[in-house]
Amino acid sequence: MTPSKKQRMEEPIITNIINTFTIMHIGERIREVMEIRHRSVVWVARQINCERTNVYNIFARKDINTHLLRQMCQILDYDFFKELSKDTFKKL
């Protein structure tokens, strides 16, 4: 059975969306912004009430839950959501 025209049209879109989310490594981006803001790992850990080893674990993550990302946005005064959104839709 051959795929319908609609299925053939949707498959590249879905593939692009999946590929887009794997492009930005959010943990690395958080680390970059932290360094740009001249903030230390200890400072970030204190702000989110965790051990510094947890902050290093965040840097290793390719994805992150929205609550933690919101905290990072607030303490680093940077809109990671906006950046992720731009990165997502420029590829579609």
pLDDT tens, residue by residue, 9-32:
555 554 454 454 457 899 999 999
Residue 92's nearest CA partner among 21, 36, 29 is: 21
* CATH node for 23-90: 1.10.260.40
Averaged over 77-89, what is the pLDDT? 85
Around Cβ 50, how many Cβ atoms within 10 Å? Answer: 15
CB neighbours of 56 closer than 8 A, spacing ≥ 6?
41
Q: What is the pLDDT of residue 21?
A: 45
The pTM score is 0.70
Residue 79 has pLDDT above 50, yes or no: yes
